[in-house]
Amino acid sequence: MPRTTKADLEAERLLWRAGFGPAPGEAKRLGRLGRRRAVEQLLAPKGRALGGRPARIDGGPLDPVNAYGHDVLWWLDRAARTRHPLAERMTLNWHDHFATSNEKVGDVKLMMRQYWLLRNYGLGSFRALTKRILRDGAMQMFLDLAGSEKGSPNENFARELFELFTLGVNNGYTERDIREAARALTGFTFDYDTKRFGFDPDRHDRGVKRVFGKRGRFTPEDIIDLAINHPKHAPYLCEKLWHYFTPLPVPPRTLKQMVSTYRRSGTEIRPVLRIILTHPSLYADLTSPHQVKPPVVYAAGMLRRTNTRIADESWIHLLDEMGQRPFHPPNVAGWDQDDAWLTPATISARFDAASMLVQKRVKDGSISASQSPQRAIAAARKATGDPQISKRTALAMQRYAVASVKGRTDDWEVKHYFPERQRVLRHVLLAGPDAQVC
Amino acid sequence: MPQFALPPQPPVPVSARPALSASATPLATPVARRRAVVRRPARMLVFASEYKLQPSRRVVPAGRVIIQTKNIGEDDHNLAVRAANGHVLKVTPVIRSGGLATLRLSLRPGRYWLVCTIPGHEAHGMVRAFIVKRPVPKVVKRVRKGT
Ligand SMILES: [Cu+2]
């Protein structure tokens, strides 16, 4: 087995935190570049966005628009096959940040259009991204912006714009700011029959509004600018971005550096990510990881590690049980991250996902009694992308590899227990304690 | 491994085939192959809420179709497929909030309606038209032998 270097460990960490885990050999390749160049490669991906074989259900391709649950599979499939890990991971992060659920929108085409918005503009300017989100059909329906009109403005979008998208809860705005901003955000329309979104100047409140102490005949885009120019915006967003990549607190000096970089660049996201992804905090405790993998990362990671394509609908249910279905966040605040991912029910679903994968790969009768415990462990490591494991896990696996087949010499025993040993070893590597964190 | 040629066998009615027995296997393969040629059913996804239906498409190719309905509202709803002559072809059971129901049917070209038949809901707007069209036939070039 090739020796694992610190560079390999760093690359493996980077690929889990800034992507969906390494495909076989990917960590070694990235590790050779060194930290800085590896991060640059993630920040400016080139070439085909997807590799591998696309998902196939019942002999046909996914039909996310017309078949229930295929939207979830479509997202998971892209995560599992991505060759642009950071761009794809940021799409999931922005989906959490600008959380929009099809449970209210009821239109997968609109949801997918929002996916592409986040995917195509997620590494560029935050100001431009937020202005596109303002005009996004799924968002306009989710937060009742479409149909909000002069005289009876709906405050949902204005509230979440300040509270979640740009400033943070009660962070530098008042109820009155929300009410006045909502007036400025009136005029958007939607027609269910033609499915057309629009803006009707006659339904827009053209009066003078007062937001953050400034007065003017603000338009919807002006409100986005006011929020992003607010002094509390940059620290809020930079700290939120930081925590998508590490549960450790952000050092005050680093936060200052991110904020000034963000402002100087004109709200560019890439330079902030560069600071986060090259920071020593991201590579702390390489051999005792401390971030819980979000379910989509965990599931896509398993598919990547084992080179498996999605071939049945059970992933829809499994992701639901694990607590994260893309396109269906639980509420406007997105998903609760970190330790909140792990409950007895979600852990059991994480185990089930691994069981499903190993059951399909290793059949009874497929391994002979001549396989030594060491060969069994090596085979299991190879089949699961040779992940990092703790000494404790390595020892437990060794003990198990010997004890599980001891005295199993009858034909029927060999037929079952040798493959079973392989299944259990792979299961430990895919779903054991080491596999839940990164 | 030696290859044995199977003697020609008369078709066995499905009910007469022993389930999961070895003798059923040689017959199962050609049947499965033939089925793969048949076009998979068209799919449609409908979201129901107060008081609207949002179908994923307006045009469906004629033949088998699977229509799934997800209730994303708070009240009970259902989904019926009504032909142009007013005849209800199929209707789901009541779908509770958050529930999903599936209808499988075979449709000829024409105009149809999706409706929620819970009293009052259609009048409130839970009705949408859709069109079934003859699938565009694939142009198959004949390969002429000898020319
Ligand atoms: Cu109804």
Alpha helices in A187-232 (DSSP H): 220-229
What tokens were used for B120? 């009052």
In chain A, the N- to C-terminal Cα span, in Å, equals 22
Q: What is the pLDDT of residue A190?
A: 96
Ligand 1: centre distance to CA B81 (Å) = 13
Tell whether the model's pLDDT for residue B139 goes beyond 90: no
Question: Contact A234/A207 with Cβ under 8 angstroms?
Answer: no
Q: Which residue has the tokens 């024409």?
A: B110
Tell whether the model's pLDDT for residue B26 goes beyond 50: no
d(CA A413, CA B65): 48
Other Cβ atoms less than 10 A from the Cβ of B136: the count is 7
Q: What is the pLDDT of residue A3?
A: 63
What tokens were used for A196? 């057309």
CA-closest candidate to residue A307, choices A402, A385, A406:
A385
- The stretch B53-81 carries a mean pLDDT of 98
- The stretch B124-146 carries a mean pLDDT of 77
Range of the domain at B58: 42-133
What tokens were used for A398? 């060794």
Q: What is the pLDDT of residue A409?
A: 93
Q: What is the pLDDT of residue A194?
A: 87
Q: 3-state class of A57 per DSSP?
A: strand
Residue B48 lies in a domain: yes
d(CA A271, CA A268): 6
Mean pLDDT (chain B) is: 78
How far is C-alpha A301 from the geometric centre of its chain's CA atoms? 11
Residue A365 is classified by DSSP as T
Residue B106 lies in a domain: yes
Q: What is the pLDDT of residue A291?
A: 96
DSSP per residue, B2-51: PPPPPPP-PPPPGGGSPTT-GGGHHHHHHHHHHHHHSPPPEEEEEEEETT
Q: pLDDT exceeding 90 applies to what percent of chain B?
A: 64
d(CA B132, nearest CA chain A) in Å? 15
Question: Contact A155/A135 with Cβ under 8 angstroms?
Answer: no
Ligand 1: centre distance to CA A340 (Å) = 36
Q: What is the pLDDT of residue B4?
A: 34
Q: Which residues of B touch A109 (CB under 8 A)?
A: 56
Residue B138 lies in a domain: no
CB contact under 8 A, B72 and A65: no
Q: Give pTM, 2 decimals.
A: 0.90
Residue of B36, B72, B100 with shortest CB distance to A103: B72
DSSP per residue, A48-99: -SB-SPPPEETTEE--TTTSTTHHHHHHHHHHHHBS-HHHHHHHHHHHHHT-
Query: Can you state the percent helix, strand and coil of chain A, rounding each to 5?
Result: 55, 5, 35
How far is C-alpha A36 from the geometric centre of its chain's CA atoms? 23
Radius of gyration (C-alpha) of chain B in whole angstroms = 22
CB contact under 8 A, A63 and B43: yes
What tokens were used for A117? 């918005």
Q: What is the pLDDT of residue B135?
A: 81
Q: What is the pLDDT of residue B38?
A: 65
What tokens were used for A302? 């398993």
Q: What is the pLDDT of residue A193?
A: 82
d(CA B48, CA A383): 44
- Number of structural domains (chain B) is 1
Residue B14 lies in a domain: no
d(CA A398, nearest CA chain B) in Å? 39
Question: Contact A296/A75 with Cβ under 8 angstroms?
Answer: yes
What tokens were used for B82? 């009504």
Residue A59 is classified by DSSP as T
| Nearby residues of B146 by Cβ (< 8 Å), 6 or more positions away | none
| β B80-83/B88-91 pair status | antiparallel
CA-closest candidate to residue A74, choices A273, A313, A264:
A313
How far is C-alpha A342 from the geometric centre of its chain's CA atoms? 16
CB contact under 8 A, A68 and B68: yes
Residue B90 lies in a domain: yes
CB contact under 8 A, A104 and B72: yes
CB contact under 8 A, A65 and B56: yes
What tokens were used for B32? 């499965």
Q: What is the pLDDT of residue A4?
A: 79
A314-322 and A70-81 helices, crossing angle to 10°: 80
CB contact under 8 A, A108 and B44: no
Residue B120 lies in a domain: yes
The alpha carbon torsion through A134, A138, A139, A142 (nearest 10 deg) reads 150
| pLDDT tens profile B59-68 | 999 999 999 9
d(CA A70, CA A311): 12
Q: What is the pLDDT of residue B9?
A: 36
Residue B79 lies in a domain: yes
Question: Contact A352/A315 with Cβ under 8 angstroms?
Answer: no
Residue of A60, A66, A104 with shortest CB distance to B45: A66
d(CA A314, CA A311): 9
d(CA A438, CA A140): 36
Question: Mean pLDDT for each 10-residue chunk of chain A (438 residues)?
Answer: 79 98 93 97 97 94 98 98 98 98 98 98 98 98 97 98 98 98 98 92 98 98 98 98 97 98 98 98 94 98 96 96 98 94 96 95 95 98 93 96 96 96 98 96
d(CA A81, CA A335): 23
d(CA A110, CA A121): 17
The C-alpha angle A391, A394, A400, rounded to 5 degrees, equals 140
Q: What is the pLDDT of residue A1?
A: 45
Ligand 1: centre distance to CA B104 (Å) = 20
Question: How many Cα atoms sit within 13 Å of A234 on the Cβ side?
Answer: 20
Q: 3-state class of B59 per DSSP?
A: strand
Residue B68 lies in a domain: yes
Radius of gyration (C-alpha) of chain A in whole angstroms = 24
What tokens were used for A410? 């009858």
Q: What is the pLDDT of residue B87?
A: 96
| Nearby residues of A180 by Cβ (< 8 Å), 6 or more positions away | A209, A210, A211
| Nearby residues of A82 by Cβ (< 8 Å), 6 or more positions away | A19, A20, A49, A50, A51, A88
d(CA A65, nearest CA chain B) in Å? 6
Q: Which residue has the tokens 């997800």?
A: B70
d(CA A380, CA A386): 8
Looking at residue B102, which CATH number applies to its domain? 2.60.40.420
Residues facing residue B43 across a β-bridge: B66
Q: What is the pLDDT of residue B28?
A: 39
Residues facing residue A128 across a β-bridge: none
